[in-house]
Amino acid sequence: MDQLLAFCLTFAVGCAGFFLFRSLRIPIPALLGSMFATSLLNISGFYPVFPVWVVSFLSNVMVGIMIGRQVDRSVWKRIKLLARRVLLLSVGMLTLSFVSGYTLYLLIDTSLATALISGAAGGITEMIIFGMSVNADVTVIMFIQLFRVVTFLTLVPYLTLIAEKMGGRKKTTTPSGDMHDRLPVFGKNDYVVLVICAFVGACAGRWLRVPTGAMLGAMFACGALVLSTNKRYFFDTRLRHITQIALGLVTGARMTPETIGHLGKIFFPAVVVTVVMFAGCALLAVILYKVTDWDLSTCLLCASPAGLSQITVFAEEIGADIFTASVFHTVRIISIISIYPWITMPFIGV
């Protein structure tokens, strides 16, 4: 009961941040407002104790359900269309991760292993695990990774909206056809089955230790249900806001007083590495813009190395193709986690 009360209190703080940011007309107010409000709560030492992983799991399941509704019988055609572009961006992200890591190595007194892992555009948890396996400084890794994610989550909404005004081309879509809109809608019993499938898929993804397994497992399970029933379902805007607040709450839980204290020592290198990463991502977005008929805002969204769940809900917020965004970031994270260690091992003597 105490933990439930603690969660409700924290969620209320996240909601307050949401309403404040919405009144200030800040982009994705539910995510950013919750993240900054709960971060302040945590930094001040008043963040209540409750199982944050449960909130993270549930919010990722919700994001998986949100993406799963984009699946239809043209899904293979859509993936085939994206394949070359995803490969191009993945190679670029791997190269950029190495360049960012080596830049950090030149700026701070740390091992090459720590620097290269800190600069990787992968998941925070996965990079910490990789760092532990090679005896790297996981404290530095966590702080640099967290600084990158928070910075990108804060800046990307503004930059994407600016790019949206600058870009003169049509909103990006992958072929889904009008058929999807003409499909019959789920009934009440179908939604019960949908939730069950989402949780089964999420649990399977976690059990198999797939990166962001809860989200991907729920997405594939919901997509499979859509394909098998040949029906479509809706995802209410209020659920989207609740999911964003929960994701902001999870991010805020990482922003401890120790994090701020340590960032003070490596703040300048962290800023430099983030600028290098940002410049590289902007270049990748421009290249993607040149080789596709996509609008600039979508290209920037696909090339931003922030959290998969957060980028996906932002794509939904601005009306972008969340299936495209989720495919790009899923491949980006999986390639960083599975390939990047093999690239860095010869340089760190493993």
The pLDDT value given to residue 125 = 64
pTM as predicted: 0.70
Low-confidence ranges of the chain (pLDDT < 70): 1, 74-75, 125-126, 129, 132, 164-182, 211, 259, 261-264, 307-308, 318-321, 348-350
- The rounded distance, in Å, linking the Cα atoms of 306 and 292 is 22
The pLDDT value given to residue 28 = 75
The pLDDT value given to residue 280 = 92
Q: What is the pLDDT of residues 11-23, one digit of tens each?
A: 999 999 999 988 9
List the domain range (segments joined by +) for residue 58.
Answer: 2-348
CATH at residue 97? 1.20.1530
The pLDDT value given to residue 153 = 78
- The rounded distance, in Å, linking the Cα atoms of 312 and 341 is 26
The pLDDT value given to residue 13 = 92
SS3 string, the chain, reads CHHHHHHHHHHHHHHHHHHHHHHCCCCCHHHHHHHHHHHHHHHCCCCCCCCHHHHHHHHHHHHHHHHHCCCCCCHHHHHHHHHHHHHHHHHHHHHHHHHHHHHHHHHCCCCHHHHHHHCCCCCHHHHHHHHHHCCCCHHHHHHHHHHHHHHHHHHHHHHHHHHHHHCCCCCCCCCCCCHHHHCCECCHHHHHHHHHHHHHHHHHHHHCCCCCHHHHHHHHHHHHHHHHHCCECCCCHHHHHHHHHHHHHHHHCCCCHHHHHHHHHCHHHHHHHHHHHHHHHHHHHHHHHHHCCCCHHHHHHHCCCCCHHHHHHHHHHCCCCHHHHHHHHHHHHHHHHHHHHHHHHHHHCC
Number of domains within the chain: 1
- The rounded distance, in Å, linking the Cα atoms of 326 and 339 is 19
